Amino acid sequence: MRIFKFFAMKMKTFKKIIIILALILTPAFFEGCGNNTKQDAELTQNGKDNRSLSDLEEIQEKGKLVVVTDYNSTSYFIYRGQPMGYQYQMLQELATYLDLRLEVKVSNDLEDSFNNLNQGDIDLIAINLTVTADRMDKVTFTSPHTQTRQVLVQRMPANYKKMNASQLTDSLIRNQLDLAGKTIHVQKGSAYAKRLESLSNEIGAAIDIVEVPVEAEQLIHMVARGEIDYTVSDENVARVNKSYFPFLDVSTAISFNQKLAWAVRKGSVDLKKEIDTWLDDFRTTRRYAVIYNKYFDNQQSVSIVKSDYYALGSGKISKYDDAIKRESERIGWDWRLVSSMVYQESRFNPNAVSWAGAYGLMQLMPRTGNRFGVGRKSSPEAQIRAGISFIKWLDNRFDNEIPDRDERTKFVLASYNVGKGHVDDARRLAEKYGDDPNIWDDNVGKWLLNKSQPNYYHDPVVKYGYARGIETYNYVKQVINRYEHYKNIIDSDIVTVQLVP
């Protein structure tokens, strides 16, 4: 009996061994463990994890957040050479929070913006989008950044200053029933058109709704100029524009308060979550209040819009545009890029003098100024001519070495700021340590940064010693970034604003 039990136990043990061996020898077992399986090889092919990245991870891998906004006196504009605007400043804050570079595109065509978002050309639509059920089928909205209602924009009578309150009320549309039969121009694809359609059904009478591919603020200006009779706008934008045009009336509401938000692609779950987390907190801060009041409750807005240097209206960047255009054309450079340099150098102040002795609009050092025939007392035009001649001189030095014009421009900018010798040192360091000496970003720019460290500025290939590379690195980045903003606004397809006296 004991012998039988012994053999029975042995048989159970043997069966267990057989089962374990069978599991081990199955393909599934090998696919489920180990580091050299086909599945793992596919996941790590070429040293990269090929598993799908989340929407936010893809953006972080690119290192930049690509957004579209609209250009007007509240969202995004250029004033005295500097990009400004409610949406722009909010986006700067968001990009800082996400630790991403901000790339701004402009469009006043809502349908194009929705299409570009869903095609993956942009990551975020950052305008005053009214949250509606129809739009929720196209995009996903972030938390609202503000609330407002829609109002009718109309002109007051020519003699409105002589009217009492009752007479003025009688001369204006105050009852939504009175919109029957009226022609109202609104931005194509906007929530204003949908609201007017609903209102037409509610009052049981036709409203002639004309949708045009023109941004809402530009339509307000057309009302002011008498080109159209009525339009609809968000109340906060309408009130800002009333400060420019006191004879406009914006007191007739056609909707209740509505949420205004940004939009991401459907499926951009992580990006939306990060934006919502940031936005829900940021809206409670004093910083947000300052930004909002700066653009929607600021009496100085009138002087900004009437200024010759409000680029959306005037097409100008500075009082020196003509000279910069003329001299830039002489060397084949875009005048907007040179204007960005001048802003960076002197903020367009011809009397600026740096701690190092650089002077004037172009911040030329005395030795360089002498070489090109100017001094501190030279006219602004002469300073511009000399500075642009110096740019051309530098460009010629890199012409045969760096054939790509966009790359060469960055080397010229860096050399203008820190001197060609230091840039040549950085190129030699790049070549020595295996980077491309003809590419700025992540290559030569990186090595110029390293020239502030002893183990690099004492390197045998370095001839000009220590350089505070961070200043030049930031100089190139800031000039190029501002240039992109200038290209967004200046000489683009914008209906310029003609202010009514």
Range of the structural domain that residue 85 is part of? 56-147+261-303
pLDDT score of 298: 81
Q: Is residue 203 part of a domain?
A: yes
CB-based contacts of 396: which residues, under 8 Å, 6+ apart?
none
CB contact at 8 A, 165 and 153: no
403 lies in some domain: yes
In a domain, 32, yes or no: no
What backbone phi and psi angles, to 5 degrees, belong to 435?
A: -100, 170
For residue 161, pLDDT over 60 is answered with: yes
Give phi and psi for 306, each to the nearest 5: -85, -5
DSSP codes, 160-219 = GGG--HHHHHHHS--SGGGGTT-EEEEETT-HHHHHHHHHHHHHTS--EEEEESS-HHHH
By the 8 A CB rule, do 363 and 354 touch? Answer: yes
Check pLDDT > 60 for residue 21: no
pLDDT class of 28 with cuts at 50, 70, 90? very low
CA 278, 283, 285, 287 torsion: positive or negative?
positive
Report the C-alpha gap between 492 and 184 in whole angstroms.
27
Residues linked to residue 232 through DSSP beta bridges, in sequence order: 152
Q: Are residues 390 and 434 part of one domain? A: yes
399 falls within a domain: yes
Whether residues 95 and 70 fall in one domain: yes
Note the pLDDT of residue 52.
Answer: 65
Token representation of residue 397: 């030095």
Contact (CB, 8 A) for 123 and 256? no
Is it the case that residue 260 has pLDDT exceeding 70? yes
Least confident range of 83-92, 233-242, 296-305, 439-448 = 296-305
CB 117 within 8 A of CB 263: yes
Same-domain status, 418 and 467? yes
- Residue 12 forms part of a structural domain: no
What is the dihedral sign for C-alpha 78, 145, 215, 140?
positive
Q: Among all residues, which ones are annotated catalytic?
A: 345
Q: Are 162 and 246 members of one domain?
A: yes
Report CA-CA distances (Å) from 10 to 20, 22, 40, 157. Answer: 15, 18, 39, 108
42 inside domain? no
Lowest-confidence pick of 35-39, 279-283, 423-427:
35-39
Q: What is the pLDDT of residue 367?
A: 94
**pLDDT band, residue 495 (cuts 50/70/90):** very low
How is residue 101 annotated by DSSP?
E
DSSP H or E segment with residue 410 = helix 405-418
Which of 36-45, 212-221, 388-397 has the weakest average pLDDT? 36-45
Domain co-membership, 68 together with 83: yes
HSE toward the beta carbon, residue 316, CA cutoff 13 A = 16
Residue 189's contacts (CB-CB under 8 Å, 6 or more residues apart) are 109, 110, 111, 114, 211
CA 60 – CA 244 distance, rounded (Å): 41
Statement to judge: residues 327 and 437 lie in one domain: yes
Beta-bridge mates of residue 252: 152
Bridge partners (DSSP) of residue 64 are 101
In a domain? residue 103: yes
Model confidence at 492: pLDDT above 90 = no
CATH number at residue 215: 3.40.190.10
pLDDT for res 37: 40
Same domain, residue pair 139 and 164: no
- According to DSSP, the β-strands at 140-141 and 258-264 are antiparallel
- Is residue 496 in a domain? no
125 and 186 belong to one structural domain: no
Measured CA angle at 127 (ends 124, 130), to 5 deg: 105
Quote the Cα angle for 162-165-166, to 5°: 110
Residues 249 and 374 in one domain: no
E strand or H helix at 250: strand 248-253
Examine the domain organization and report whether 290 and 419 are in the same domain: no
CATH value at residue 485 = 1.10.530.10
Residue 112, burial from CB neighbour count under 10 angstroms (0-12, 13-18, 19+): middle
pLDDT in tens, 276-320: 999 999 999 999 999 999 999 887 777 777 776 677 667 889 999
CA distance linking residue 115 with residue 138, whole number of Å: 9
In angstroms, how far is the first alpha carbon of the chain from the final one?
A: 118
CA–CA gap between residue 96 and residue 44 (Å, rounded): 32
* 431: exposed, middle or buried (Cβ count in 10 Å: 0-12, 13-18, 19+): middle
Q: Rounded distance, CA 37 to CA 21, Å? A: 19
Query: Strand 140-141 vs strand 248-253: parallel, antiparallel, or unpaired?
Result: unpaired
Q: Is the pLDDT of residue 43 over 80?
A: no
Do 331 and 454 have their domain in common?
Answer: yes
SS3 annotation, 132-171:
CHHHHCCCEECCCCEEECEEEEEECCCCHHHCCHHHHHHH
pLDDT at 389 over 80: yes
Q: Counting beta carbons within 10 angstroms of the beta carbon of residue 278, is it exposed (0 to 12), middle (13 to 18) or buried (19 or more)?
A: middle
Statement: residue 29 has pLDDT above 70: no
- Percent above pLDDT 70 for the chain: 86
275 and 326 together in one domain: no
Q: Is the dihedral of CA 41, 44, 45, 50 positive or negative?
A: positive
Domain count, the chain: 3
Centroid of chain to Cα 324: 25
* pLDDT at res. 8: 47
Q: Is 9 exposed, middle or buried (0-12, 13-18, 19+ CB in 10 A)?
A: exposed
Answer for the pair 328, 345: CB distance below 8 angstroms, yes or no. no
For the chain, what is the mean pLDDT? Answer: 88
